[in-house]
A and B are shown apart, each in its own frame.
Chain A
Amino acid sequence: MTNDNAFLSVRDLRVHFPTDDGLVKSVDGLSFDLERGKTLGIVGESGSGKSVTSLSIMGLHKGGSARISGEVLLDGQELVSSSSEEVRLLRGKRMAMIFQDPLSAMHPYYTVGHQIIEAYRVHNNVSKAVAKKHAIEMLDRVGIPQPDKRVDAYPHQFSGGMRQRAMIAMALSCDPDLLIADEPTTALDVTVQAQILDLIRDLQSEFNSAVIIITHDLGVVAELADHIQVMYAGRAIEYGTAEDIFDRPQHPYTWGLLGSMPRIDRERTERLIPIKGTPPSLINVPKGCAFNPRCNYAHLNGGASETERPELLDSGAGHMVACHLSPQERQKAWETDIKPKL
């Protein structure tokens, strides 16, 4: 999936952590492209490598114990081989991140305004007064009431939703070209979540930035994402447009996710269809297809799933899937076993 228009290109990214128990392969060969103005949703369960991917794009694993290889190209600039100092200059200005937990992502000792001003002045040579004015504008932009007063408040004086807004204001203060939102609404109530998702959408269309949204909530990606990447055990197992993933998913794991999900929009009298077993340890990822011990269809291809790792291949019109099943088998299983029960 090479794309000349791509603003962000990730090529064969691997992030491994040596531990006493063995090598943890959090991300193991991940490639994707993202254009400006588009939103990529990365979904998967805990431990599938979603967050590690985002942190390594931001260069936040540099200097730690992580072994990173592969390429991350941001507007043509390679980041994996760049120094920490070089990446630091990009953070905030070219790319920014919204974290899940705004209380631990903000410094409790400094006012909210101070933290936005600091981020802004790193990249813009302006006086404190000008930066403060900008901070107030940003707080106003994300919908914080009385921003001129709130700019001097401390993070603990904000409610959860307001803190998340303040963090978004901070992330957007330098109009970043790439915004990574890692579970931006998981800690929030649903009404506040709706406000924040609207905000991200509005700001994206205003600044034409590229957005990566990482979440375990399939509803959130269905609302926001143009493309969706489903991750399992450190690899992408399916990639396609939101319609591809929700209307004609190809991978048995994606079916499992959809089957596990209770529906709010319709009566579902059938039982949920859980995925059997538990996600694998990233130290001992199963041989072959990492999903094969939990897959109901692994027996259909004569043991190939247990020995050979399936590559992520285009199954037509950019819808990519990593599965040994033949397209006919997948089509049949989806139409007869899965779709009627959702």
Chain B
Amino acid sequence: MTTADTDPTAVPGVVEPEIGEELLSVNNLTKHFPIRRGLLQRQVGAVQAVDGLDFTVTKGETLSLVGESGCGKTTTGRLLTRLLEPSDGRIVFEGRDITHMSEGKMRPLRRDVQMIFQDPYGSLNPRHTVGKIVGAPFKLQKVQTENGVKKAVQELLELVGLSPEHYNRYPHEFSGGQRQRIGIARTLALRPKLIVADEPVSALDVSIQAQVVNLLEDLQEEFDLTYVMIAHDLSVVRHVSDRVAVMYLGKIVELADRVSLYEKPMHPYTLALLSAVPIPDTARKSKRERIRLVGDVPSPINPPPACRFHTRCWKAQDICKVVEPPLIQLAPGHQSACHFPENATPEQEATAMKAAETNPGRDSVKA
């Protein structure tokens, strides 16, 4: 399948990043949803869904955002795809600032940034045939295909492991795993560069989940895709990611490459999260020590001051309630936001302390 030869989104002076170069960068990304009350709909507060994220995504990698419900990972995904308007901060995609780009200007960019949704039942129009669903991106973007849209769609269906004969069928005739494949075919139609996948396999049974995980890996290899994966299943995340960002109440508390995050987590929250996952290994059942977090995640309307995790942290001391630990690099490729990092050398502990003194986070309590 071929799309138009010239890239209409190409901007003079913008060089397309190579594998391993920065594709997307996010700076102080913030989204506060206002809460309005009363006759005059005055703003009485805000849900601080996402509060000051900094990260970059390099071409060809998979960056996963993990965390419990309400930590802001889905909001982040929607901000990256500009389905939501950021309240503050900057999103730069391939050197272009897309933070507040108008809808019209954003449209050509949409073919570069696509999304895979969680629910394979809600994300496909039940009244449209598979052909119409997967062909929609061509129509919307007015893309000319070499041998007609039907041929292009059938090629896409084959690519994701469906049969081209499925063209005229309706979504209800397919199982959950097949529907997710239809959604992936649609996502791939315009050969996007960045795919934001919001819980792409969590609605699927484990045997089907493995099929879709393998498919996503194959496609990444074939088309040099870059994924931002939003997931809560830490086992799946370990399998698919190159780097992982752990979020808690709208902030990134730890960002590291896969191996060091899972082998040597530095933030206590990450440690607690990992220790909570049941391990399918009977030999380790008895000797495992689990960190029990008490209580629930606090409300993002009125999050705890300074370190947002201090209310549930077993290591918390007075400083955690006053000074917000900044997200700083403690080891190569390993960032953490904690005054008392786990698995840290004395030097790393000192670095964390010093960073908090010289550059405390903006949620710190002012004296």
A275 surroundings in chain B (CB, below 8 A): 207, 210
Contact (Cβ within 8 A) B207 A222: no
Interface string of B184-206 (1 = CB under 8 A from A): 00000000000000000000011
Interface string of A258-269 (1 = CB under 8 A from B): 111111110110
Within 8 A of B (CB), among A259-294: 259-265, 267-268, 271-275, 278-279
- Given A194-B292, A278-B178, is A267 in contact with B259 using a C-beta cutoff of 8 Å? yes
Q: Is the interface of A mostly helix, strand, loop or mixed?
A: helix
A220 surroundings in chain B (CB, below 8 A): 278
**Cβ 8 A contact of A192, one of B235, B277, B280, B296:** B296
> Interface size on A (CB < 8 Å)?
47
**Cβ 8 A contact of B205, one of A46, A265, A273:** A46
Alpha-carbon distance between A107 and B297 when the two chains are bound, in angstroms? 25
Task: Say yes or no for B109: interface residue by CB 8 A criterion.
Answer: no
A217 surroundings in chain B (CB, below 8 A): 278
Contact (Cβ within 8 A) B210 A274: yes
A216 surroundings in chain B (CB, below 8 A): 205-206
- Given A261-B235, A278-B178, is A218 in contact with B207 using a C-beta cutoff of 8 Å? no
Alpha-carbon distance between A265 and B297 when the two chains are bound, in angstroms? 25
Contact (Cβ within 8 A) A193 B206: no
- Given A198-B292, A222-B285, is A257 in contact with B206 using a C-beta cutoff of 8 Å? yes
Interface string of B12-54 (1 = CB under 8 A from A): 0000000000000000000000000000000000000000000
Alpha-carbon distance between A53 and B290 when the two chains are bound, in angstroms? 32
Alpha-carbon distance between A264 and B290 when the two chains are bound, in angstroms? 15
> Interface size on B (CB < 8 Å)?
45
Alpha-carbon distance between A265 and B283 when the two chains are bound, in angstroms? 12
Alpha-carbon distance between A219 and B290 when the two chains are bound, in angstroms? 14
Interface string of B209-252 (1 = CB under 8 A from A): 11101100100000000000000111110111000000000000
Task: Say yes or no for A189: interface residue by CB 8 A criterion.
Answer: yes
Residue of A nearest to B208 (CB): A278
Contact (Cβ within 8 A) A278 B293: no
New contact pairs (10) apart from A45-B205, A189-B232, A222-B285, CB-CB < 8 Å? A189-B69, A191-B272, A198-B292, A216-B206, A218-B206, A222-B281, A262-B239, A264-B235, A264-B238, A274-B214
B: which residues have CB within 8 A of A? 68-69, 175, 177-178, 205-211, 213-214, 217, 232-236, 238-240, 259, 262, 272-285, 290, 292-293, 295-297
